[in-house]
């Protein structure tokens, strides 16, 4: 029986079964395996893989209750969120979807999306491609608090992101 994974498609709202996973070549030198931590918007992200030479970014994220990513568009990145603990409310385009531990959610580049933790702390893994989301998180973490909207918008523009709404509410 082929190896199967269940993904939730962001645009159609349907489930997609992928029969095989692509084989990846070993990344070139210069790939960051850092375990650096970046924090903003009630999210703590441990960067497990990233850097300019990496084929994708991998981050372990902890999201505080009722905190999370505001509605935004990632113009050049496809993302997979794998929830390991708790519950999150995701906005995917116009649809709100509750995800729980064990769920995996795919968000295609160009889709409006955001999330917030429901009923306590939530943990998930984020894999995004091409690699750059680690640098976006580090740039956001470096901004002075409270954040100046112009500074946030400048970081978003530099990394192909656009904030289009608030943090997702119930």
Q: What pLDDT, in 10s, does the model give residues 58-69? A: 999 999 999 999
Task: State the DSSP code for 25.
Answer: P
pLDDT at 29: 53
List C-alpha distances in Å: 68 to 52, 82, 126: 25, 15, 13
pLDDT value of residue 32: 55
- What pLDDT was estimated at residue 134? 94
Give the residue ranges of the chain where pLDDT is below 70. 1-34
| pTM, 2 dp | 0.81
Q: H-helix or E-strand containing 44? A: strand 43-49
pLDDT of residue 16: 37
Which superfamily, per CATH, for 1-18+72-170?
Jelly Rolls (2.60.120.10)
Res 54: pLDDT? 85
The first and second tokens of residue 100, run together, are 């729980």
According to the model, what pLDDT value does residue 46 have?
95
Residue 52 has what pLDDT?
A: 82
pLDDT of residue 72: 97
Residue 157 sits at φ, ψ, to 5 deg, of -60, -40
Measured over the CA atoms of residue 20, residue 101, residue 137 and residue 45, the dihedral's sign is negative
């Amino acid at each position: 029986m082929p190896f199967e994974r269940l993904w939730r498609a962001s645009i159609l709202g349907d489930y997609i079964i992928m029969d095989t996973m692509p084989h990846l070549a070993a990344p070139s030198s210069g790939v960051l395996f850092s375990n650096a931590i970046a924090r903003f918007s009630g999210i703590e992200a441990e960067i497990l893989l990233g850097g300019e030479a990496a084929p994708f970014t991998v981050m372990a994220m902890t999201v505080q209750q009722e905190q999370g990513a505001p509605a935004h568009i990632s113009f050049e990145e496809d993302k997979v969120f794998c929830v390991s603990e708790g519950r999150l409310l995701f906005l995917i385009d116009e649809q709100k979807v509750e995800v729980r531990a064990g769920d995996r959610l795919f968000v295609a580049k160009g889709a409006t999306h955001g999330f917030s933790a429901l009923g306590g702390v939530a943990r998930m893994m984020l894999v995004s491609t091409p690699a750059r989301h680690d640098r976006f998180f580090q740039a956001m973490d470096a901004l002075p608090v409270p954040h100046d909207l112009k500074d946030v918008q400048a970081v978003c523009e530099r990394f192909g992101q656009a904030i289009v709404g608030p943090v997702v509410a119930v």
